[in-house]
Structure 1
Amino acid sequence: MSALAQRVVIVGANHRSSSLGLRDALYVDDASAPSFLDGLKQAGLAEALVLSTCDRVEVWCADTEADHATTLVGEAFAAKAGLTAEGLASHLYTLSGGEAVRHGFTVTSALDSLVIGEPHVGGQVKAAHRLAREAGTVGGHLDAFVQAAFAVAKRVRTETAVGEGPVSIAAAAVQVARDLHGDLGGCRALLIGTGDMGELVGESLLAAGLTDMLVTAPKETRAETLARTLGCHVLPFEDMRDGISGADVVLTCVGGRTPVVTADAVSLALKRRRRQPIFLVDAGIPGDIEPAVNRIENAFLYDLADLEKVALEGRATREQAARAARAIVESEATAFLRGRAARAAVPAIVALRDQFEATREKVLAEIGADVDPAEATRLLINRLLHTPTETMKSIAAEGHEWQTMEKTLRKLFHLEG
């Protein structure tokens, strides 16, 4: 089968085309992927991988006919979701050829996610590729496409800022903490209160490398529960001031009527710390930290509004970088498609060369060693052109294909006139 016959085809549903409920029904987890892919293979789709994430469920494949692939994938998805293929069809999109290549490159480069630059997308595509290889459903055509997608994603990451800048309040808090303290591995944090936003930011700090966190709250039982969730230790609430002195990051989420962290407490803590800075995150509504802390040197206080501004700046940075990233995707997709199309000519070129060589050897065998070189070359040219000439005359006589062939012939051999 020629490279020209094989086309990249993508069939699926994403966060723009379908509901979360439908994507949940279509979702193919890692444990189910081998049997799902084997079902596609048995049905006649030899090259396929399945990409299942929160944002999308797609099958990437290589097939000779987009309609054939669409039918097989639609039936497999319908069986997975317990729906009819006809009822599901309107919720699925099918992309083939250039559209599929551009989509795959865009997805792998994290430009089609709910959060542009989402760092986990490339890993999800790699995992899907690995599972498909293990299932025996990755051939040369699909593998070439996926490897090209990885290369494009790498170029986007290295040449643009699409993955830089925080896009959420929790990510913003992590960035500010890193800007102030550098590597968080040697830092200590104190989480005061058990509100949801405090837990979320605390989780993000721990995921970013912070290893030492204490949890305290007016109700010790709640502090103990949250500490178990985060894998941290509990600090008695009455020892909170001492905890602030030992913390590089203080995170509050109590939301009471009176501040739990006063300016005096922060000033005392900074004296004990020999003026080493403290990053304070007030995630409480109403606020938990006295506004006067803003006026204390080496105390860096951010509330939710401050962190939201940092996140908005990060989103703007990513959106701006995404324009440059999409230009890279378009350029690479065009180059990939041209390369695959050029490869499609290779079998015909090889066959033509083989035929010319066979004709040359036959002519040499017939004329012997004593024939005049000019006569030998005339005979060789006549032999090489005989069949094409007769075929062109026949096509010209029929008329309907000759104009196209003549243009091709003149372009192929740079003929004048």
Structure 2
Amino acid sequence: MTDTAVSRLVVVGANHRSSSLALRDALFVEDAAVPGVLAMLRDRCGLTQAMLLSTCDRVEVMAVDADPGACGAALSRFLAEIACIDPADAAGQIYTLTGEDAVHHGFAVAASLDSQIIGEPHVLGQVKAAWRLARDAGMAGAELEAVVQGAFACAKRVRSETAIAQGPVSVASSAVQTARDLHGDLDRTRGLIVGTGDMAELMAEAFQAAGLTRLTVTAPRDTLADGLARRIDAHALPFDQLPEALRGSDVVVTAVGGRTYAITLEQVRDALRKRRQRPIFLVDAGIPGDIEPAVNREENAFLYDLDDLEHIALSGRAGREAAARAAWDVVGQEVAAFLKRRAARDAAPAITALRDHAEALRAEALAAAGGDADKATRLLVNRLLHEPSCFLRDVAERGDEDTRRAAEALLRRLFALHDDKESDR
């Protein structure tokens, strides 16, 4: 491959398909530590253009180097070193991509096509954050920036032209989407978390990310409710005030898992009367269940358990996988367009040199002709064709028929020459 901006690109890393979770955990770099790692890449690997993307799905370095093969080997050793493992043990789990393959990979990552959950919206934000850190560290050169900006443009097209980001793909996102279908924008709703299990915190964070900011936590043990409320920046309420809290809540998530129902049919009926039948969305994430099943028969009470939400999530995943085919087409188009633009830029210096050479020969011919235009043009033509003619004769004399034919074909294409035999047909 010729020495172009694209050919100097290299990506080295480990992702959810190539490596074990243990290796990715060992490789993981916190945001605060990224500048230090980038400095090590500069000082120890001699890189001037590099970015580090470190997420739960992947840890990889994208860099530009004059010798991508040697750079890839050095980066593999570097990653093994920061993970404190033998490079031989990591060899089968760390991949190296160069040139066009590296471009295609980078575009696919930004478009969230290389993620465990296809279409996850936060992936592009992670790539942008990694790029900001590289830029702040002075590692964002023009060649690397061109690839990264191309990846951002590709991700934008994928988002706007395909349905890859539509449909919930996890239990928590299914709950959020269902709540939105019922209530609309969640920033106008109130939420209640009953219990402090892991699913309660996960659901709370998902709803907060979706815009539900007015959140109350209650649990049979007040100390646990206080702790969860502090962690998620919510309000804590004594458990004996649950019936009152239920009346003011539009979204209710339970994760108690006790021997008796935390929320009964009568409590929900009372809450609906006080709410003038404004609907309540309830998620029962308790094992065993926390909400009396008969609640689901109430006209304005919408009760979902984990199985219900998992069915919605499975449907969303299937929809995204179908949309991924169209998204991959977009990635292919964007990679092809990017490579074409970069090839044009790489050819620009040679074109400029050719023009400068022709202009110099023109000036020499004019000076040598002493104002005789006919003589000047003959001199110019002879001088322009001298080197190509010598090259063709030299190749022919060496008996290198393949090179002669290739050179002759290139000259015919460059100067739009036609074979006399072909023109006679």
TM range (shorter): over 0.9
Worse-superposed segment, 374-383 or 291-300: 374-383
- Structure 1 residues 37 and 269 mapped into 2: Cα distance closer, same or farther (>3 Å)? closer
Aligned counterpart in structure 1 of residue 192 of structure 2, from 176, 190, 193 = 190
Distance 2:50 2:284 in 1: 49
Letter in 1 for 2:11: I
Are the equivalent residues in 2 in contact too, given 1:2–1:344 (CA < 8 A)?
no
Aligned counterpart in structure 1 of residue 48 of structure 2, from 46, 49, 73 = 46
1:403 counterpart = 2:400:
no
Q: Per-residue deviation at 1:177?
A: 1.4
Matches within 5 A, 1:381-400: 381-400=381-400
- Please tell me the root mean square deviation across aligned C-alpha atoms, in Å: 2.1
| Counterpart in the other structure of 2:304 | 302
Are the equivalent residues in 1 in contact too, given 2:186–2:212 (CA < 8 A)?
yes
Aligned counterpart in structure 2 of residue 132 of structure 1, from 128, 131, 134 = 134
Aligned counterpart in structure 2 of residue 323 of structure 1, from 319, 322, 325 = 325
Give secondary structure in 1 for the equivalent of 2:32: coil
Letter in 2 for 1:391: F
Distance 2:6 2:256 in 1: 64
Distance 1:188 1:35 in 2: 43
Are the equivalent residues in 2 in contact too, given 1:160–1:325 (CA < 8 A)?
yes
CA deviations over 1:247-284 (Å, ceiling 9, x no partner)? 11122223334433232322222111112111111122
| Counterpart in the other structure of 1:24 | 25
Distance 2:276 2:5 in 1: 71
Worse-superposed segment, 147-156 or 265-274: 265-274
Matches within 5 A, 1:283-362: 283-362=285-364
- Structure 1 residues 226 and 349 mapped into 2: Cα distance closer, same or farther (>3 Å)? closer
Aligned counterpart in structure 2 of residue 161 of structure 1, from 160, 163, 169 = 163
| Counterpart in the other structure of 2:15 | 14
Letter in 2 for 1:381: V
Distance 1:271 1:360 in 2: 94
CA deviations over 1:290-337 (Å, ceiling 9, x no partner)? 222222222111111211122112212221221111111111111111
Give secondary structure in 1 for the equivalent of 2:11: strand
- Structure 1 residues 57 and 244 mapped into 2: Cα distance closer, same or farther (>3 Å)? same
Give secondary structure in 2 for the equivalent of 1:343: helix
Give secondary structure in 2 for the equivalent of 1:416: coil
Q: Per-residue deviation at 1:197?
A: 2.0
Letter in 1 for 2:23: L
Are the equivalent residues in 1 in contact too, given 2:7–2:99 (CA < 8 A)?
no
CA deviations over 1:212-240 (Å, ceiling 9, x no partner)? 22223333343333333333333333332
Structure 2: gaps of 5 or more residues? 420-425
Q: Per-residue deviation at 1:355?
A: 1.0
Give % identity.
55
- Structure 1 residues 219 and 318 mapped into 2: Cα distance closer, same or farther (>3 Å)? same
| Counterpart in the other structure of 2:378 | 378
1:265 counterpart = 2:270:
no
- Structure 1 residues 34 and 268 mapped into 2: Cα distance closer, same or farther (>3 Å)? closer
Are the equivalent residues in 2 in contact too, given 1:11–1:94 (CA < 8 A)?
yes
Q: Per-residue deviation at 1:145?
A: 0.7
Q: Per-residue deviation at 1:196?
A: 2.5
Give the TM-score normalised by structure 2. Answer: 0.91
Are the equivalent residues in 1 in contact too, given 2:119–2:165 (CA < 8 A)?
yes
Letter in 2 for 1:37: L
Give secondary structure in 2 for the equivalent of 1:255: coil
- Structure 1 residues 381 and 297 mapped into 2: Cα distance closer, same or farther (>3 Å)? same
Structure 1: gaps of 5 or more residues? none
Matches within 5 A, 1:138-153: 138-153=140-155
Are the equivalent residues in 2 in contact too, given 1:6–1:141 (CA < 8 A)?
no
- Structure 1 residues 87 and 190 mapped into 2: Cα distance closer, same or farther (>3 Å)? closer
- Structure 1 residues 269 and 32 mapped into 2: Cα distance closer, same or farther (>3 Å)? closer
Letter in 2 for 1:378: R
Worse-superposed segment, 284-293 or 307-316: 284-293
- Structure 1 residues 85 and 268 mapped into 2: Cα distance closer, same or farther (>3 Å)? closer
Worse-superposed segment, 181-190 or 390-399: 181-190
Q: Per-residue deviation at 1:128?
A: 1.8
Give the TM-score normalised by structure 1. Answer: 0.93
Distance 1:306 1:35 in 2: 46
Are the equivalent residues in 2 in contact too, given 1:45–1:72 (CA < 8 A)?
no
Letter in 1 for 2:308: D
- Structure 1 residues 82 and 237 mapped into 2: Cα distance closer, same or farther (>3 Å)? closer
